[in-house]
Amino acid sequence: MAYVGLVEVFIALLVFFFFHFLIHKKSHQITPRNWPVLGMLPGVLVMLHRINDYVAEILEVSNLTFAFKGPWFSGMNMLITADPSNIQHVFSSNFSNYDKGPEFKEMFDFLGNGIFTADSKLWEDMRKSALVVLSHQGFQSFSLRTITCKIKNGLVPVLDHFAEANTVFDLQDVFQRLAFDVTLTLVTGCDSSSLSIEMPKNEYAKAMDDAEEVVVYRHVKPVVLWKLQNWIGLGEEKKMKEANAAFDRSCAKYISAKREEIISHHSNIGGEAHAEDLLSVYMNLDISKYELLNPNDDNFLKDIIKSFMLAGRDAIATTLTWFFWLLSKNPEAVTKIRQEINTNLPGSGMSLDADKLNKMVYLHGALCESLRLYAPIPFERKTPIKQDVLPSGHMVDKNWKILFSVYALGRMRSVWGQDASEFKPERWISERNGGLKHEPSFKFFVFNSGPRNCLGKNLSFLQMKTVAVEIIRNYDIKVVEGHKIEPASSIILHMKHGLKVTVSKRGLVS
């Protein structure tokens, strides 16, 4: 009997190593194997820890577009692409045929009916309202005052503290707290002090991180499975339930505070309120005409807060984190940025002159390079309303999802040249006149393209430049030797282990 048991164990081990070899060791086959019943899912699950780089490798050898076959009857078939012509077609030329789709709303259910999940007329009206606010001179002045205040009273004291203590800290955490405080003020008008020497825990910020992580797992699970887990409250879906509860508590508090402020100041919401925070504007939006929305509850306002908080905090914090890591590997870029600062912003005081900041071409190019290589949102997703043929020749219908890999697009040699993987700010500078070189949005897809292009692009660049100038001019950042750098499994390209650094103050720069 013992002999039979040993044989069974031996056979089991052989089977294990056989499948391990097929999935892991087939080095000449980058694309995942299409298994009976399971489709290509096993190969993807094995690579989930480095999914963005794996997708980039697949697309590099697949002429920029790859058809992923999910398990049978799972509804997971999707076309994965980084082809600029496909992006232009879907997001511009044939925009009306592509929606986020109902499955997208289900996966991102924590955002409710916010601007990122809305389609059609509701999306159009929300976008128009946001455009009015973001382009208003009053809001832009409000934004500059806010970022100035948060840098002076939050960022500088924290960096000075770590410099004096000569202590290792997580720069990503610092940027997330700074971006959270700034964005919360711009979105709700509420002040927050999550960035302080005490580094207090923030329930809302943690809920954002957890929700973003759960959404990634939803993309590689059959819908029925993650929905069952959510209903029961198991695994990652338990995190989502807890995150939604945290969102509900926090947003209710922000909305209540805004109503009290309006009453106490006898504000006219239809008048000057649009020059301040976004919540004031959307409180005045008539939602009674939309079937999906109930004007008698606050869910719509909560969804607005969650959507804009996601966009504001993560885009800036993530970009700055990867940006300073890239600078640590390219000290010559730091030297050039400091020379540019001395030329355009002389003196040691902080300046928020947008015209002067816009003259800093090399800094802008360096930020664009960081965004190209490490896009904050590494993929976009669309669903066709009716059958269509993409410029790449692939046919899609409403049963297929299209996944646009923004991360892979920035690394495609056929798009950016043989040096696509290199950090080269000069890529964005015109050799003819030394000005900024424009790249079409369907090639530099970080800020989306077509009618859904990012409304906050200019504001984001202004905020990032302001933070970058303050730090590069006054501090030296050094990444801890041996610290492991890799993206987290999230819909936002966070660093999985943070960015551990030390900081030291520089002398006054004349």
What does the H/E/C string look like for 2-45?
Answer: HHHHHHHHHHHHHHHHHHHHHHHCCCCCCCCCCECCCECHHHHH
Among residues 40, 116, 33, which one has the least CA distance to residue 79? 40
The confidence score (pLDDT) of residue 150 equals 94
- CA–CA distance, 478 with 488 (Å, rounded to integer): 22
Strands (E) in 124-217, as ranges, are 169-170
Q: Is the pTM of this model over 0.95?
A: no
The answer, yes or no, to whether residue 505 has pLDDT greater than 90, is yes
Query: What is the residue range of 1's domain?
Result: 1-30
- CA–CA distance, 456 with 72 (Å, rounded to integer): 41
Mean pLDDT of 196-210: 91
- CA–CA distance, 110 with 240 (Å, rounded to integer): 8
Mean pLDDT of 315-337: 96
Instruction: List the binding residues.
Output: 454
- pLDDT band for position 348 (50/70/90)? low
User: 457-468, pLDDT tens digit by residue?
Assistant: 888 999 999 999
**Side chain identity at 71, as an amino acid letter?**
P
Cα-flanking dihedrals φ and ψ of residue 296, to 5°?
-95, 0
The confidence score (pLDDT) of residue 293 equals 66
The confidence score (pLDDT) of residue 490 equals 79
Mark whether 408 and 497 lie in a shared domain. yes
- CA–CA distance, 178 with 318 (Å, rounded to integer): 11
Average pLDDT, the chain: 86
The confidence score (pLDDT) of residue 182 equals 94
The confidence score (pLDDT) of residue 347 equals 67
Mark whether 14 and 161 lie in a shared domain. no
In this structure, are strands 401-405 and 78-81 parallel, antiparallel, or unpaired?
parallel
Convert 362-394 to b/e letters by CB count within 10 Å (16 or more is b). Answer: bbbbbbbbbbbbbbbbbbbbbbbeeebebbeeb
Looking at the domain assignment, is residue 386 inside a domain? yes
Among residues 130, 133, 110, which one has the least CA distance to residue 250? 110
Mark whether 183 and 275 lie in a shared domain. yes
Mark whether 13 and 155 lie in a shared domain. no
Looking at the domain assignment, is residue 510 inside a domain? no
The confidence score (pLDDT) of residue 165 equals 95
User: 222-271, pLDDT tens digit by residue?
Assistant: 888 888 998 998 888 999 999 999 999 999 999 999 888 877 765 454 44
Instruction: List the binding residues for heme.
Output: 454
The confidence score (pLDDT) of residue 129 equals 78
Q: Are 506 and 475 in contact (CB under 8 A)?
A: yes
- pLDDT band for position 349 (50/70/90)? low
The confidence score (pLDDT) of residue 444 equals 96
Mean pLDDT of 26-53: 81
The confidence score (pLDDT) of residue 10 equals 44
Mean pLDDT of 171-196: 93
The confidence score (pLDDT) of residue 354 equals 76
Mean pLDDT of 425-442: 92
Mark whether 299 and 220 lie in a shared domain. yes
Mark whether 298 and 374 lie in a shared domain. yes
The confidence score (pLDDT) of residue 331 equals 96
Number of helices (H), then strands (E), in the chain: 20, 10
Token pair 């809001």: residue: 139
Among residues 191, 169, 168, which one has the least CA distance to residue 180? 191
- CA–CA distance, 460 with 364 (Å, rounded to integer): 12
- DSSP SS3 for 103: helix
Token pair 């996966």: residue: 107
The confidence score (pLDDT) of residue 8 equals 53
Mark whether 1 and 39 lie in a shared domain. no
Beta-bridge partner residues of 384: 98
Mark whether 51 and 118 lie in a shared domain. yes
Mark whether 70 and 38 lie in a shared domain. yes
% of the chain with per-residue pLDDT over 70: 89
The answer, yes or no, to whether residue 16 has pLDDT greater than 50, is no
Looking at the domain assignment, is residue 178 inside a domain? yes
CA distances from residue 418 to 92, 190, 371, 438, 444 in whole angstroms, order as listed = 28, 47, 18, 19, 17
Looking at the domain assignment, is residue 298 inside a domain? yes
360's tokens: 């800093």
Q: Are 26 and 378 in contact (CB under 8 A)?
A: no
The confidence score (pLDDT) of residue 12 equals 47
Using the 8-state DSSP alphabet, how is residue 479 labeled? E
Mark whether 235 and 359 lie in a shared domain. yes
Residue 381 backbone class (left: φ over 0; alpha: ψ -120 to 50; beta: rest)? beta
Looking at the domain assignment, is residue 149 inside a domain? yes
- pLDDT band for position 275 (50/70/90)? very low
- CA–CA distance, 435 with 362 (Å, rounded to integer): 9
Mark whether 23 and 45 lie in a shared domain. no
**Side chain identity at 340, as an amino acid letter?**
E
CATH of the domain at 181: 1.10.630.10
Mean pLDDT of 258-287: 69
Cα-flanking dihedrals φ and ψ of residue 253, to 5°?
-65, -45
The answer, yes or no, to whether residue 495 has pLDDT greater than 80, is yes
- pLDDT band for position 14 (50/70/90)? very low
Q: Per the structure, how many domains does the chain have?
A: 2
The answer, yes or no, to whether residue 3 has pLDDT greater than 50, is no
Mark whether 297 and 317 lie in a shared domain. yes
Q: Are 250 and 203 in contact (CB under 8 A)?
A: yes
% of the chain with per-residue pLDDT over 90: 49
The confidence score (pLDDT) of residue 350 equals 54
Mean pLDDT of 43-61: 89
- CA–CA distance, 510 with 348 (Å, rounded to integer): 7
Dihedral sign of CA atoms 365, 370, 372, 376 in order: negative
CA distances from residue 209 to 242, 243, 470 in whole angstroms, order as listed = 12, 9, 27
